[in-house]
Every structure is written in structure tokens, then in C-alpha cells.
Chain A
Amino acid sequence: MAGSAPLVGILALQGAVREHAAVLQDLGARVRGVKRPSDLEGLWGIVLPGGESTAIGLLMTEYGLREPLRSGYLPTFGTCAGMILMARRIEGGEPPWLGILDVAVARNAYGRQRESFEADLEVGGIGQVRGVFIRAPYVTEVGHGVEVLARDHGGHAVVVRQGPHLATAFHPELAGEHRLHAAFLAGLDGPAQAPVGAVAG
């Protein structure tokens, strides 16, 4: 498979799937919508899009995707709700969904839709990025091995990386921003090997 275009899944249970697909395809990746465990086969990585984390989490659990994804074998890029799904801890006592990113997050951290905003941010290794924050979370606590690549104007971490996993509190896919997706793709080096038994047929 070396040399061929990366095959990236987008969790397609609910949310802004189309926008991520457009960015990834622009960058030369092959894209597959993921609704069932069998869709994970052969993926190099997966994007967890923005949407409603509760709805996506419930459906992910029910349709057998939570178990394989929480093993963390698949490099994962989460935006907004995706970041919440990846977090090890969610403020307010809601149980975590995947726990593959050693951070705590606060949901709707900036407030309601009325308080949603866009702003320019400086992202480490990338430069200035227009961040579109929609009922967005932010990171309240960062574990060892987690690198903070950007902070908002209040100093909260909003872009974090841990090993092959990347997460943003905002939506690069809504701003025509390709560099974060490119950074994620750069870390993929072939089909990820599922741990034995993690992917059911």
C-alpha cells in the first residue's frame, strides 16, 4: 500500500461530514464514510466531525464503533464534538466516550450559540488559523504527552496533539482551512492494524 493515497474514514453517524470530505479530498486523500465496524477495515486514520457529541456517542456505542475506536489503534482527528468524544474526561461528570486523548474538556465552554464566534489563532507549526467556534468546548486539563498547539485568547488549550491523535475545539473544515488536516495526514503511514478482536465483521 505504500505510495498510494491515504484512506481516511469520517465518522458519518451525524454532523458535518461533507465539509471534512471536501478538505481531505482536496489534499489527495481517499475518503470513506463510517457507519459500521466493517467500514473501519483498511483505514489509515479517522476523522470525528463536529455534530452533537451526545447523539454521535450514543449511535457510536449502539452500532459497535465505540469499542474498536476506544482502543486508539486508529489515528484520530476530532473537531469540536470530535474532541469531546476523544477526551479522557468531560467536565460535569458525563462519562467519557473514547478516552483516547489525555485531556479534560468542558462542553459548550464559551456559552450558547449567541456566544459562538470566529477568531484568529496562532497554531504551533502551522501559523495563523481562522478558528470558527460553534458552541465549542475547550480543554481544561492536559495530561503528560499531550502537546498544546494553540490557545484561545483566554489561554485555554484549543488545539492538542498526542501521538497520532489530533483535536481542535473549532472547525477548520468550515473556514476552508486545510493545514490541520494536512498535518494529520502527514502522520499517517499506511493502513492501521486493528488489535485482534477489536473490529467485528
Chain B
Amino acid sequence: MADEGTFRVKSGLAEMLKGGVIMDVTTPEQAEIAERSGAVAVMALERVPADIRAAGGVARMADPAVVREIQKAVSIPVMAKARIGHFVEAQILEALGVDYIDESEVLTPADEQYHIDKRAFKVPFVCGARNLGEALRRIAEGAAMIRTKGEAGTGNVVEAVRHMRTIQADIRRVLATPDDELPTLAKEMGAPLEQVREVKRLGRLPVVNFSAGGIATPADAALMMQLGADGIFVGSGIFKSKDPEARARAIVRATTHFNDPEVLAEVSAGIGEAMPGIEIGAIPAASRLQERGW
């Protein structure tokens, strides 16, 4: 009678997170700060992306002990990251009862050919994408939520903007394409035809699309919302800033009132220094996280 893990139940949780901010946290204390600042969920990690980038080496799933402590600390959903293609890390995260698994390019990929078969899990997955084809490939694999990749750990919003604009432009292209030309467009985008048809029918992605990767200020968050994001992931932007709680609160409020410049001016004032940013051109191509996944 009761059906668990249906696609509606998986994508439905993402629908409930819309208009909200999901924050990377590494300790129970940070998780509590996120919750009382109005975050709709937290991403439990051992290191935020800026530190992963600085440390180099292989980045893996967080220690289950860290995930458990964070689950105990808050009542909002707790997400955690698995490496691309590492379905055993995902099985472990499902056993821990995390509410969403991020199959994430921020960690070092475990498989350079196949992403996780996300339909095999009851826990829903969110995946990164830079364009519509990539988003639809992930959805075909069972992802119930998409986030644009941006360039994590940089505090530089330029890639998040590029990816959001690209997805929106790709969707407009699908909408303008006659039905009989959709198969060729699908082939060109590397997306399953069925998913492309669904985009045309709905006029949007079939699942929620958040923005991620480089959001560091309330204005960045509102920019992404005005560009059509359904919500915001903030990684290093909060806990790498001078006053994380003030910044967390400000980014939440900016995401809610993204269309109200007066509120944006008010919440942006006096919240301390943002995290230091990195020029994308200064990152060697091989170190760009967005190139991971396909």
C-alpha cells in the first residue's frame, strides 16, 4: 500500500527546498548556525570545497561519524556527498539515512565512465550540470534534483552564471524546436529524447534546479535567483567568511527577497568580509572541478 522511494517522493523533497539555501557544514556547531539562520538543509562534509582545493589529493565521502553528529544536531534535512560513480559510498550514505546524496564533482571521481545508477536507491540524488544535456543525462540516471556546477571553492560566481544561463538558453532552444526536429537536437545535446520531450512539454527542467559553485554574497544569491535558479547551495562562502552567522542570515534573506533591491541593500550591509575569491583563469584547466563528470 505504501510506496517508498518513488520518483515523486524523491523529487518532491527538492520541491520543498525551493526558494531556500543549502549550506555546507563540517561540524554540528556549524549545522546549528545554518539551521538558526534559516537554511533549508545542510550538506555534511569533512572539508568545504575551498579547503579541498587547497589540500589537493583525493577527496572522498565524509567520515560517517561526522555525518551522524550533524544529523543529531539539526532537524532540517542533511545531505552528503559521494564521489561520482562511487555507488558504495552512496550505499553507505543511504544506510546512514542522509536525506539527499550529492554525486559531486567536488570530490575526486571514482569512475571516469559511469555515474551512479541513482534509480537503485530510495534516497534521492542531486547532481551537477553545466548545460541541459548534462542535466538530462543525470535525470535519466535517476537524479531527482539538479544544481548548476559553477566552480566550487572559488568565491567567484562567474561559472555559476555561465552554467545557469547555458541551461536556460538550451531550454529556450528546445521550446523553439518543432517536434520532428527534436530527435536531432537531443542527439546534439547528448540527452535522451524522452527527457528532451518532457522539457518541451513542461517548459522547464523536469526537476528542481539550484545554483551552486562560487556563491559568496547575498547579491550573488539574488543574482542566481533572478537568473532562474530554484534555490541556492553555498559551500565555502559562509564558513570561510569573517562572520559566518551574519553572512548565512543575509544570504537566506537575499534568496527569499531576491527581487527586492531594498531588502538586498539592507541585508548586504555590515556583514563582514566575504571569503577571498579566486580568478577562474588562475586555476589550471586540470584543476577545474566543473570538468569532472560528463
A contact residues vs B (CB 8 Å cutoff): 12-19, 35, 50-52, 54-55, 58-59, 62, 80-81, 107-108, 111-120, 132-135, 153, 171, 174-175
Whether B39 contacts A50 by the Cβ 8 Å rule is no
Given A52-B76, A54-B38, CB of A59 within 8 Å of CB of B2: no
Kindly identify which residue among A51, A114, A119 contacts B122, using a CB–CB cutoff of 8 Å: A114
Interface residue range, chain B: 35 or more
Kindly identify which residue among A52, A111, A117 contacts B40, using a CB–CB cutoff of 8 Å: A52
Whether A55 contacts B123 by the Cβ 8 Å rule is no
Whether A153 contacts B122 by the Cβ 8 Å rule is no
Given A119-B2, A153-B1, CB of A59 within 8 Å of CB of B38: yes
**Residues on A with beta carbons closer than 8 Å to the beta carbon of B19:** 12-15, 17, 51
Whether B77 contacts A113 by the Cβ 8 Å rule is yes
One of B3-11, B151-159, B161-169 at the interface: B3-11
Whether B256 contacts A113 by the Cβ 8 Å rule is no
Total inter-chain residue pairs, C-beta < 8 Å: 116
Given A134-B9, A134-B12, A171-B12, CB of A116 within 8 Å of CB of B18: no
One of B82-90, B94-102, B233-241 at the interface: B94-102
In the complex, A113→B257 CA distance in Å?
A: 28
**Residues on B with beta carbons closer than 8 Å to the beta carbon of A115:** 4
Q: Is the interface of B mostly helix, strand, loop or mixed?
A: loop
Minimum CB–CB distance from B266 to chain A (whole Å) comes to 12
In the complex, A18→B18 CA distance in Å?
A: 10
Whether B41 contacts A52 by the Cβ 8 Å rule is yes
Minimum CB–CB distance from B71 to chain A (whole Å) comes to 8
In the complex, A174→B10 CA distance in Å?
A: 11
Known A62-B253, A108-B75, A115-B4; 4 more pairs at CB < 8 Å? A81-B16, A107-B75, A117-B4, A171-B12
Q: Which 10 A-B pairs have the closest CB atoms?
A: A113-B99, A119-B2, A14-B19, A52-B40, A117-B2, A112-B97, A55-B38, A117-B4, A16-B15, A14-B20
**Smallest Cβ-Cβ distance to A13: which chain B residue:** B256
In the complex, A171→B6 CA distance in Å?
A: 14
Kindly identify which residue among A15, A112, A153 contacts B18, using a CB–CB cutoff of 8 Å: A15
Whether B99 contacts A153 by the Cβ 8 Å rule is no
In the complex, A52→B34 CA distance in Å?
A: 13
Interface positions, chain B 246-274, Cβ under 8 Å from A, are 252-253, 256-257, 260
Tell me if B223 counts as interface (CB < 8 A to partner A).
no
Q: Could you show 5 A-B contacts with beta carbons less than 8 Å apart?
A: A13-B19, A17-B19, A55-B252, A116-B4, A116-B13
**Smallest Cβ-Cβ distance to B257: which chain A residue:** A35
Instruction: Name which of A12, A58, A113, A175 has the most chain B CB atoms within 10 A of its CB.
Output: A113
**Smallest Cβ-Cβ distance to B99: which chain A residue:** A113
**Residues on B with beta carbons closer than 8 Å to the beta carbon of A58:** 36, 38
